[in-house]
Amino acid sequence: MHLLGTVLEHLDAYFLKKNLISSNFLYLLALFFIVCGLLIQPLPELLQGYWQILIAPSNLLTDYFAVGGYGATFVNAGILMLLNAFMVSRHAKWMTGPLFAALFTVTGFAFFGKNLFNTIPFMMGAWLYTKFLSIPFKKVLLTALFSTALSPVVSLVSFGQGLPLAWGIPLGYALGIFIGFVVSPIASSFLRFHLGFNLYNLGFTSGVLAMVVASVMRSFKLAVDVENIQVTMNYGPVFGFVILLCLFLILMGWSANRFSFKGYRDLTREAGTSVTDFVLLHGSALTLANVGILGLLATGYVWLLDGVLNGPVMGGILTVMGFAAFGKHPRNVAPVVLGIFLMQYFMLTHDPDMTSAILAALFGTTLAPIAGHYGPLAGFLAGALHATLVNNVGGVHAGLNLYNNGFSGGFVAATMAPVLETITEWRRDRAERSRISEG
**Lowest-pLDDT range, 3-7, 104-108, 126-130, 267-271?**
3-7
pLDDT at residue 120 tops 90:
yes
pLDDT at 310: 93
Count Cβ neighbours within 10 Å for each residue of 300-337 and write b for 16 or more, e otherwise.
ebbeebebbbbbbbbbbbbbbbbbbbbbbbbbbbbbbb
pLDDT at 173: 96
Q: Taking the CA atoms of 27, 29, 30 and 36 in sequence, report the sign of the dihedral they define.
A: positive
Residues contacting 299, CB < 8 A, separation 6+: 239, 242, 243, 246, 309, 317
Q: Is residue 380 part of a domain?
A: yes
pLDDT at 249: 95
Which among 203, 160, 138 is positioned nearest to 409, based on CA atoms?
203
pLDDT at 132: 94
Is there a single domain that holds both residue 173 and residue 278?
A: no
Instruction: For the chain, give the percent of residues with pLDDT over 90.
Output: 54
Long-range contacts of 273-276 (CB under 8 A, 24+ apart): 273/196, 273/197, 273/327, 273/369, 273/372, 273/373, 274/191, 274/196, 274/197, 274/199, 274/201, 274/327, 274/369, 275/98, 275/196, 275/326, 276/97, 276/326, 276/327, 276/369
Is there a single domain that holds both residue 293 and residue 373?
A: yes
Is there a single domain that holds both residue 169 and residue 249?
A: no
Q: What is the mean pLDDT of residues 356-361?
A: 91
Is there a single domain that holds both residue 29 and residue 172?
A: yes
Q: What is the mean pLDDT of the chain?
A: 88
Is there a single domain that holds both residue 172 and residue 279?
A: no
pLDDT at residue 349 tops 70:
no
Q: What is the mean pLDDT of residues 61-81?
A: 94
Q: Which of the four pLDDT bands, split at 50, 70 and 90, describes residue 350? A: low
Q: Is residue 255 part of a domain?
A: yes
pTM: 0.93
Q: Is residue 231 part of a domain?
A: no
Q: What is the mean pLDDT of residues 242-267?
A: 94
Q: Which of the four pLDDT bands, split at 50, 70 and 90, describes residue 216? A: confident
Q: Is residue 227 part of a domain?
A: no
Distance CA 261, CA 69 (A): 38
Q: What is the mean pLDDT of residues 3-24?
A: 76
pLDDT at residue 9 tops 80:
no
Helix (H, G, I), strand (E, B) or coil at 229: strand
**Lowest-pLDDT range, 107-116, 155-164, 390-399?**
390-399
pLDDT at residue 289 tops 90:
yes
Residues paired with 20 in a beta bridge:
17
pLDDT at 315: 94
Q: Is residue 264 part of a domain?
A: yes
DSSP state of 199: S
Q: Is residue 219 part of a domain?
A: no
Is there a single domain that holds both residue 183 and residue 241?
A: no
Distance CA 413, CA 222 (A): 33
pLDDT at residue 411 tops 70:
yes
Q: Which helix (H) or strand (E) holds 373?
A: helix 368-374
Range of the domain at 9: 1-187
Q: Is residue 438 part of a domain?
A: no
pLDDT digits (tens, 9 = 90+) for 17-52: 878 888 888 899 999 999 999 999 999 999 999 999
**Lowest-pLDDT range, 114-128, 204-218, 357-371, 391-405?**
391-405
pLDDT digits (tens, 9 = 90+) for 292-324: 999 999 999 999 999 999 999 999 999 999 999
Domain boundary among 150, 172, 187: 187
Is there a single domain that holds both residue 247 and residue 356?
A: yes
Is there a single domain that holds both residue 173 and residue 241?
A: no
Is there a single domain that holds both residue 179 and residue 287?
A: no
Structural domain count of the chain = 2
Q: Is residue 174 part of a domain?
A: yes
pLDDT at residue 284 tops 80:
yes
Better-scored residue on pLDDT, 163 or 326: 326
Is there a single domain that holds both residue 49 and residue 129?
A: yes
